[in-house]
Structure 1
Amino acid sequence: MLLQVHPDNPNPRNMKMIIECLKDGGVIIYPTDTVYALGCDITQHKAIERVARIKQVDPKKAQFSFICYDLSHLSDYAKSVDTPIFRMLKKALPGPFTFILNASKQVPKLLKTKKDTVGIRVPDNNICRSIVHELGNPLMSTTLPIDVYVEEYTDPEVIYEKFGSQVDIVVDGGPGGMSFSTVIDCTGEAPELIREGIGDFDAIT
C-alpha cells in the first residue's frame, strides 16, 4: 500500500494505520531527513527477520539503527554516555547523524552486533518522529537494498513500484534525499567519524 502522509500535519487516520501495521509485525518504508528507509518495530522479531531477508543480510551482522523521537529514551537502549558525548548528541539531534553507542541490556538480542553496540538516530523529519512517538518505542531502520542511489529513488511512487510487494506500507511523505546520515562512533575514547554524510562532523565536535 502506498499511503500519503502530509509532511507537516500527518493525517491521524493514516498514522493510526501505520502504527497498527507496525504493532502487528508489519514492515514499512518511510521518509527520514536523508533517504527513504526500511523499518519495523524493534520489539517485533519476525518483522526484524523480514527486514533482514529483504536486505539479504544476517540480522546480527546488519547495521540497523534505532530511530528515536528524542534523547529521552537514550538510557533505555544505550549504556550511559559521558557529558561531552551527551552534549554533542544534544547539539546534533534532531539531524542527519547516526551515533554508535554501547548497547544496553534492553536492546533485543537479535539486533545486537558482536561488538554489543547500537546506532541511534533522531532524524529531523516530522513523519518518522511522529510514527516513533505514537508507537511508543523506536523503529528499527536500515537503508533500502539499493546499490546506487539515483534521482528516481527520491520518488516514493518509484520506491513503491520497486519494493511495494515486499513491504506492507510505503509512506509517501514527498520527495526523499539521495545522501546518507553521517555516522559517528562514540564507543572509543574520542568520537570517530565512520561515514561522512550530510551532517557536518566538525560543526558538532
Structure 2
Amino acid sequence: MARYFDVHPVNPQRRAIGQAVALLREDGLIAYPTDSCYALGCQLGNKDGLERIKEIRRLDDRHHFTLMCRDFAQLGQFVHVDNTVFRAIKASTPGSYTFILPATNEVPRRMMHPKKRTVGARIPDDIVVQALLDELGEPLLSSTLLLPDLDEPLTQGWEIKERLDHVVDAVIDSGECGTVPTTVIDFSQGEPEIVRRGAGDTTRFE
C-alpha cells in the first residue's frame, strides 16, 4: 500500500518531504505533482523503478525518460549543452518544458534513447518538486503519469493513490494538478525541433 503525503503547495512540510525522499533512497517509486501534471519518479540508479514506470505506462525502449533537475548546475552534469542551446534553455526555465539533449556518461545507459544516446531534462517551476530535489541532492528520473487506458493525466492525488495503490510506494498531494504535460523540444541536433506542444509556449522555438 502506498504512503500518502498531503503537502502544502507553498510551504511544503520538511518532515513529509524528508519521508518521501527516504522512500526514494530505498529504491521507492513515487507519484508527485509538477508545474505541468503528475509524474512518476525514482532515483537515477533505481533499475527496478525504471522498469516499474515502463510497466505502469506500457512504454517501450524508445521512450525518452526525463531528468527532473534542481537547477542549471545540476542539469549540466547530465546533458551536453553548448552556448547557443544554453541561452535558449535558460530563457525558458524554470518552466513546463522538457529538452531532449545528448546525455553525459553520468546518465545510466538504460535510461538513454538506445540509438541517439539522448535523454530528456527539465527544471520545474514548482515549490514542492524543488523541495524534493533539494532534499534528494540529485535529479529525479521521471516520466509523465499518463496511464495507458486514459486520454489525460489524473489530476487528484487521492485518485492516483486509489488507482496505483499497489504499484507505487508513495503519492504526494499538494492540491489539484494540471492535465497538460510539458512542451518537448529536441535540441539533440543543435536546432530546436518541437516534438510535443504542451504547457510551455513554443514561440521562441519556431
Scaled by the length of structure 1, what TM-score is found?
A: 0.93
- Secondary structure of 1:128's partner? helix
Please state if 1:61 is matched with 2:57. Answer: no
Mapping of 1:90-105 within 5 angstroms? 90-105=90-105
Q: Which amino acid in 1 is paired with 2:202?
A: F
* In 1, Cα distance between equivalents of 2:119 and 2:141: 11
Q: Does the 8 A contact of 1:99 with 1:183 survive in 2?
A: yes
- Secondary structure of 1:187's partner? coil
Please state if 1:164 is matched with 2:142. Answer: no
1:179 corresponds in structure 2 to 180
2:13 corresponds in structure 1 to 11
2:152 corresponds in structure 1 to 149
How far 1:204 sits from its partner (Å)? 5.9
CA offsets, 1:50-79, max 9 Å, x none? 222222334x33321110001112221112
Unaligned 5+ residue runs, structure 1?
none
Q: Does the 8 A contact of 2:65 with 2:112 survive in 1?
A: no
- Secondary structure of 1:92's partner? coil
Which deviates the most, 101-110 or 140-149? 140-149
Q: Does the 8 A contact of 2:100 with 2:187 survive in 1?
A: yes
1:71 corresponds in structure 2 to 72
How far 1:17 sits from its partner (Å)? 0.6
* In 1, Cα distance between equivalents of 2:55 and 2:129: 23
* In 2, Cα distance between equivalents of 1:50 and 1:36: 16
- Secondary structure of 1:154's partner? coil
How far 1:138 sits from its partner (Å)? 0.5
- Secondary structure of 1:38's partner? strand
Q: Does the 8 A contact of 1:92 with 1:204 survive in 2?
A: no
Which deviates the most, 155-164 or 29-38? 155-164
Count of residues in correspondence between the two structures: 201
Q: Does the 8 A contact of 1:91 with 1:204 survive in 2?
A: no
* In 1, Cα distance between equivalents of 2:156 and 2:21: 23
* In 2, Cα distance between equivalents of 1:145 and 1:120: 18
Q: Which amino acid in 2 is paired with 1:32?
A: T
Q: Does the 8 A contact of 1:98 with 1:182 survive in 2?
A: yes
Q: Which amino acid in 1 is paired with 2:156?
A: D
* In 2, Cα distance between equivalents of 1:121 and 1:47: 19
